Chains A and B, each alone.
Chain A
Amino acid sequence: MRLKATPDHSAPETVFTARSLSKVYIVGELEVRALHDVDLDIYGGEFVVLLGPSGSGKSTLLNILGGLDSPTTGKANWRDHDLVASDEAELTQYRREHVGFVFQFFNLIPSLTALENVALVAEIADDPLDPREALDLVGLADRLGHFPSQLSGGEQQRVAVARAIVKAPDVLLCDEPTGALDYDTGRLVLSTIARANAELGTTTVVITHNSAIAGMADRVLHLAGGSIARIERNPHRLAAEEIHW
């Protein structure tokens, strides 16, 4: 029997709801089932880790949650936003107002300094944090005027985290945030993500294939072959400093 990540009786408010979510890519004459009949609920302020090997469907799921892709069938809602029925402009609006992204390869704007990269997003947000405050939160208060080319990979990723949280998003979506980083830097970045989750109460979803990170989550969804294979609940969340790989 397929496992369904449906609401728990003790759960707080549900922010994401997905029902019978399926995604089929047509590649040439081949149908690739990236997601298969997924039911999912994510609660406000929760820290969720999506764990799975490549091809398990975790990125597809994240893309749908982030309003970057739409499912082939099924329903996906962010609170009362219907992510399936939204058009491109509504999805952009959704991303702008509610979602913070952290990418594996940082995707900073090379021509802007750390502060300006963060301010760029603050500019289009409704009620943003002070960009300096966001950078302070990720421990980069002293690197404000540096360009990406003058920052280490870890520092760049922390700028990316600051950029994601500056608009005080409802949800922070991180796609392999440590994938391009070494061990120490990776942990530093994870701790800033955890801090944002804890201090701002931002619902956080992290994609990774690194199972060590799972220890930091409230819930761990194991994906395999496009379905949720297993759900793990951590009674005790580990701090970034406590995990090893």
Chain B
Amino acid sequence: MSLLDIKLARELVSMRAQVLAIALVVGAGIAVFVASISTFYSLEASQSRFYDKSRFPNVFVTVKRAPLSIVPRLEAIPGVATIEPRIVEEVIVDWPGSRLPVSARMISLSDKHGALSRLHLRKGSAPTPGSTDEIAIGEAFAEANKVEPGGTLRAILNGRLKDFRITGIALSPEYVQTLRPGVYIPDDKFFAVAWIDREAAEGAFDMEGAFNDAVIRLAPGADASRVIEDLDRLLEPYGSVGAIERRDQPSHRFVEDELEQQRVTSITVPFVFFGVAAFLVNIALSRLVLAQREQIATLKALGYPTLPLGLHYFKLVVVIVTIGSILGLAGGYLFGHAMVLSYRNFVRFPVLDFEVTGWSLVVGIAISLAAASLGIFTAMRSVVALKPAVAMRPEAPIRFRRGVLDFLAPNGSPRAKMILRHIAGRPLQTALTTLGIAFAVPMVVLGLFWRDSVDYMMDVQFNLIERGNAVVSFSESVDADIIRDLKREHGIMKVEGQRYVPVRLRAGQRTYLTSIIGLHEGGELRVPRDLDLRPIEPAPDGITLSKRLAQRLDVALGDEITVEVMEGERRKVDVPVASIVEEMLGMSSYMEIGALNKLTGEGDVVSAAALYIEPSAIGPVSERFKSLPVIESASMKAYSIAMFFDKIAGLVLVSGAILTGFAVIIAVGVVYTSARIRYQERARELASLRVLGFTREDVSQLLFTEFMIVIAIGIPIGLVLSQYAVDLIARLHTNESFQVPAVIEPRTFTLAALIVLLTGLVSTYALRRQVYALDLVAVLKTRE
């Protein structure tokens, strides 16, 4: 072991608190980086493994009814590798004990070799080929309702009740996320996906020799849009509403959205964390080297070449980064594991395990090492650039001047002046310390603001826009008379008919599959809001788009877009964009209901109703819904909100909470290191004061006051920076499923400021020990 290594080892021991603080900052940066990137890749890998294994189709098409005899012609379309005709029907389920109507989507299963969308069985087995009363059900519904194989599912098929024996619980790549059309919040308890044998389906739905749904797997290199054109041409006579590509498949779209968001998170958040961590490590280490200026100069004077000295300090960096990396890997593993776990009841893959992405660790360590080394080397260079004789002399004393801050305490005591001049007299150091503290604030805010954002999102969506407390949807478009009937139900205070029409919106090359919601003028239960959240009426002569939908289609007010209706006569109509509205969940569009019905060529019909039910009557009214066959599903606002918090918000809040934890670690690291450096730069002066008769408390207080002033300057700067950071992160996180409003409540600002202040108090308190241990005798003997 060389002598320099012994020096290194001793210094590491004596600086252990600082070493640990810097290593923690490095570790937090690496942890967030590794966890985010690895979570993204873990999700992506699970998705692609599942898609491959289960043969997830590329193209999806729905028709009214087509004969199986057409299938060979579809198979002959160039680019089609496999096609699987299916029978898919929405049915109402008689589920004992459920508060609300339960519906299910039944899908026929093929036992053909090479079938598409193969089920992954979690429990039990698939329905036996040829059996007419066996059924497999989706895991989401099974979990939400605690269903096991062997149970019974009673469905209403063509008006007749039929019992199915549940043989298995399964996952399908088409239902990684089970969302009812037009609904943005998972509804696991009241919506099931179920699979039955093809023969059973033929019998149950009178579909012998026919199909109403097909999934297609493309040959490698095939052009999906060509295939879709051919499919649409061949299937149009059978009531096709147009085939869609994978990217428009609801579950896939949702998962892709989530992956995209995770990808953005895995880049932006660690970038912020890492950037700050690297910056701080850089500063801390360069000041650490500068503090050893005389030692370095002496070693140089004794004939040490620069290289081994540089290497010596580089080893210090390596040790700190190694400790940081170990902490970071451990923290990253736990954080990533927690994130992946919270994804598990949200996206259903057969296997979703957290795997650390190797390169993220390598890159994380490399960036930390580079940032830390840069700090060391810039400081080293400034030292070795001096002639040893010059460098061995103490640095020229800082030329303090009167004035800069003196006006704050014109008749102040020397102590007050000392504090103020120290802050103003070392502007660079003060600026760096202030900046370090300022940076700690947005990191904490970035972890905390999610709560405000989600609250705001909920408030806008569920208090301002959706003002009723329930929505029911009908199994088909029905005459508007039903609204009058519903109004007569006991406990229903208010009912407003709505019309949901599935459409493809097209603006030039851009398209988006969504629904248009038809609303009555003067409606009170669903109130679209403009960008300033003022209520606006759905225009009778145009379409109203949510802000994100308008952005997605790249259209502005007054632009024409094409509405392609995906049902009925499948009309295509150009309409102008009449207004743009704020919408937190999903990407909706609105029209006045009369205008919408005219557009689709229908009379006065509705397909859903928004309700306000007297709160005490919600139970009986829900019960009543179950006995009305026209009602396919009902969603209660309270349940939606609970589900939202459980699923989407839960995920966001969990990662937010963990990020806050890392932010606090960084804040502690930053503030402690800053305080420590400030103390070191003053240790001699403080010891002199002690010798002159100042008490330990006097001296601690001096240091404390000075540092608190720096914190008091840093925190407001940090609060301003927070708004920018949150704006950026919110913008990057907004996706199709929901918008992340860049809202920071005063309570969050306050909490972030308090956390940073507290770390400051704790850090300075920790330094009291140093003040208490000041070597008074040494002061008399050493020069500055």
Taking Cβ atoms with an 8 Å cutoff, the residues of A that contact B are 59, 63, 66, 68-69, 88-89, 92-93, 95-97, 99, 101, 103-105, 107, 109-113, 116-117, 119-121, 123-125, 145, 147-150, 163, 167, 175, 180
Which of A111, A148, A163 is close to B692, meaning CB atoms less than 8 Å apart?
A: A163
Q: Choose from A92, A99, A116 the contact partner of B414 (Cβ within 8 Å).
A: A116
Closest 8 CB pairs of A and B: A96-B693, A111-B421, A107-B688, A120-B414, A105-B783, A116-B414, A95-B693, A111-B400
Instruction: Chain B residues near A93: list those with CB within 8 A.
Output: 693
Find residues 360-403 in chain B having any chain A CB closer than 8 Å to their own CB: 396-402
8 A Cβ contacts from B406-441 to A:
413-415, 417-418, 421-422, 425
Min CB gap A167→B, angstroms: 8
**B14 at interface by CB-CB < 8 Å:** no
Q: Is there contact, CB below 8 Å, between A123 and B695?
A: no
Report chain A residues within 8 Å CB of B638: none
Interface string of B684-721 (1 = CB under 8 A from A): 11001111111110100000000000000000000000
- What B residues does A103 contact at CB under 8 A? 688, 691, 779-780
Inter-subunit contact B414/A63 (CB<8 Å): no
CB distance from B710 to the nearest CB of A (A): 15
Within 8 A of A (CB), among B424-475: 425
B688 touches A123 (CB 8 A): no
Q: Which residues of A contact B696 (CB under 8 A)?
A: 88, 92
- Decide: A112 near B421, CB < 8 A? Known: A105-B783, A149-B397: yes
Known contacts A111-B400, A113-B402, A120-B418; is-contact A101 B425 (Cβ 8 Å) = no
**Cross-interface CB contact of A123 among B415, B425, B777, cutoff 8 Å:** B415
By CB atoms of chain B within 10 A, which of A63, A93, A112, A113 has the most? A112
Docked complex Cα distance between A112 and B694 (Å): 16
A145 & B783 in contact (Cβ 8 Å cutoff): no
Q: Provided the pairs A63-B780, A68-B776, A92-B695 are in contact, do residues A110 and B688 lie with their beta carbons within 8 angstroms?
A: no
Kindly provide the distance from the CB of A120 to the nearest chain B CB, expressed in whole angstroms: 4
26 A-B interface contacts by CB (under 8 A): A59-B777, A68-B777, A92-B695, A95-B691, A95-B692, A96-B693, A99-B693, A101-B692, A101-B780, A103-B688, A103-B779, A104-B783, A105-B783, A107-B684, A107-B685, A110-B397, A111-B417, A111-B421, A111-B422, A112-B418, A116-B414, A117-B414, A123-B413, A125-B693, A149-B399, A175-B780
Bound form: Cα–Cα A66–B400 in Å = 31
- Complex contacts, A120 vs chain B, CB 8 Å: 414-415, 418, 689, 692
* Nearest opposing residue in chain B for A164, CB measure: B692
Which B residues are in CB contact (< 8 Å) with A124? 692-694, 698
CB nearest to B398 among chain A residues: A110
Interface centre among A68, A97, A99, A109 (most CB of B within 10 A): A109
Judge whether B784 is part of the interface by a CB distance below 8 angstroms: yes
Query: CA separation between A148 and B399, bound complex, in Å?
Result: 8
Residues of B within 8 Å of A116, CB to CB, are 414, 417-418
- CB contacts (< 8 Å) of A110 on chain B: these are 397-398, 400, 685
Q: Are A69 and B777 in contact (CB under 8 A)?
A: yes
Chain A residue contacts of B413, Cβ below 8 A: 119, 123
A92 near B402 with CB under 8 A, answer: no
* Bound Cα distance from A145 to B777, whole angstroms: 30
- Could you say which of A69, A149, A180 contacts B400, with CB atoms under 8 Å apart? A149
User: Which B residues lie within 8 Å of A68 (CB)?
Assistant: 691, 776-777, 780
- CB contacts (< 8 Å) of A105 on chain B: these are 782-784
Which residues of B are in contact with A by a Cβ distance under 8 Å? 396-402, 413-415, 417-418, 421-422, 425, 684-685, 688-696, 698, 776-777, 779-784
| CA A149 to CA B399, docked complex, whole Å | 6
Most chain A CB within a 10 A radius of its CB, from B415, B689, B693, B784: B693
Bound CA–CA A104/B781 (angstroms): 7
Task: Report A-chain residues with C-beta under 8 Å of the C-beta of B776.
Answer: 68
Q: 9 more A-B contacts (CB under 8 A) besides A105-B784, A148-B397?
A: A59-B781, A92-B696, A96-B693, A109-B414, A120-B414, A120-B692, A147-B401, A149-B400, A180-B783
C-alpha spacing A68/B401, complex, angstroms: 32
State the Cβ distance, B51 to closest chain A Cβ, in Å: 67
Partner of B418, one of A59, A69, A99, A109: A109
Interfacial chain B residues near A101, Cβ < 8 Å = 691-692, 780
Q: Which residues of B contact A69 (CB under 8 A)?
A: 777
In the bound complex, CA of A119 to CA of B695 (Å): 17
- Determine the chain A residues whose CB is within 8 A of the CB of B414 once the complex forms: 109, 112, 116-117, 119-120, 123
Nearest chain-B residue to A102 (Cβ)? B780
Which residues of chain B are near A88, meaning CB under 8 Å?
Answer: 696
Interchain CB contact under 8 A, B693 and A121: yes
Residue of A nearest to B421 (CB): A111
Give the shortest distance, in Å, between B691 (CB) and chain A (any CB). Answer: 6
CA distance A118 to B253 in the complex (A): 75
* Chain A residues within an 8 Å CB radius of B422: 111
Cα of A96 to Cα of B698 in the assembled complex, Å:
12
Pick the contact of B690: A63, A92, A148 (CB < 8 A): A92
Of the candidates B695, B780, B783, B784, which one forms a contact with A59 in the assembled complex, judged by CB atoms under 8 Å apart? Answer: B780
Instruction: Using CB atoms, name the residue of chain A closest to B426.
Output: A111
Shortest distance between the CB of B527 and any CB in chain A (Å):
63
**A residues within 8 A CB of B417?**
111-112, 116
Contact of A111 among B425, B689, B690, B777 (CB under 8 A): B425
CB-CB under 8 A from B689, the residues of chain A are 109, 120
Given contacts A104-B780, A105-B782, contact A121 B402 (CB under 8 A): no
B625 shortest CB reach to chain A, Å: 78
- Bound CA span A163–B396, Å: 23
Assembly CA distance A186 to B783 (angstroms): 17
In the complex, A69 Cα to B778 Cα: how many Å? 11
Point out the residues of chain A lying under 8 angstroms from B695, CB to CB.
89, 92, 96
Q: How far is the CB of B21 from chain A (nearest CB, A)?
A: 27
* Residue in B closest to A110 when the chains form the complex, CB atoms: B397
* Chain A contacts for B780, CB-based, 8 A: 59, 63, 68, 101, 103-104, 107, 175
Min CB distance, B709 to chain A, in Å?
14
User: Could you say which of B397, B414, B695, B698 has the most chain A C-beta atoms within 10 Å of its C-beta?
Assistant: B414
The closest CB in chain B to the CB of A96 belongs to: B693
Across the interface, name the chain B residue whose C-beta is closest to A69.
B777
**A105 to B782 Cα, complex, angstroms:** 7
CA distance A104 to B783 in the complex (A): 8
Q: How far is the CA of A10 from the CA of B241 in the complex (A)?
A: 123
A97 to B: closest C-beta gap in Å: 8
CA A105 to CA B783, docked complex, whole Å: 5
Contacts of B684 in A (CB 8 A): 107
Docked CA distance A98–B777 (Å)? 18
B424 CB, min distance to chain A CBs, angstroms: 9
The CA-CA distance from A89 to B398 in the complex, in Å, is 32
Of residues A117, A121, A147, which shows the largest number of chain B Cβ atoms within 10 Å of its Cβ? A147
- Bound Cα distance A66, B780 (Å): 12
Q: Which residues of A contact B698 (CB under 8 A)?
A: 124
A143 to B312, CA, bound (A): 46
Residues of A within 8 A of B401 (CB): 147
Give the distance in Å from the alpha carbon of A148 to the alpha carbon of B685 in the complex.
Answer: 13
Do A147 and B399 contact each other (CB < 8 Å), given the known contacts A116-B414, A123-B415?
Answer: yes
Inter-chain CA distance A99–B776, complex, in Å, is 14
Taking CB atoms, residues of chain B closer than 8 Å to A63 are 777, 780
Task: Tell me the complex Cα distance, A145–B689, Å.
Answer: 20
**Which residues of B sit under 8 angstroms from A123, Cβ to Cβ?**
413-415
> Quick check: A109 and B688 within 8 Å, CB to CB?
yes
Alpha-carbon distance between A88 and B688 when the two chains are bound, in angstroms = 16
Contact at B398–A149, with CB atoms within 8 Å?
Answer: yes
B418 neighbours in A (Cβ, 8 Å): 109, 111-112, 116, 120
Choose from B400, B692, B783, B784 the contact partner of A147 (Cβ within 8 Å): B400
CB distance from A166 to the nearest CB of B (A): 10
Inside 8 A of B691's CB, which chain A residues have their CB? 66, 68, 95, 101, 103, 107
A150 to B396, CA, bound (A): 12
- Considering the chains assembled together, what is the distance between the CA atoms of A116 and B415 in angstroms? 9
Kindly list chain A residues whose C-beta atoms are within 8 Å of the C-beta of B402: 113, 145
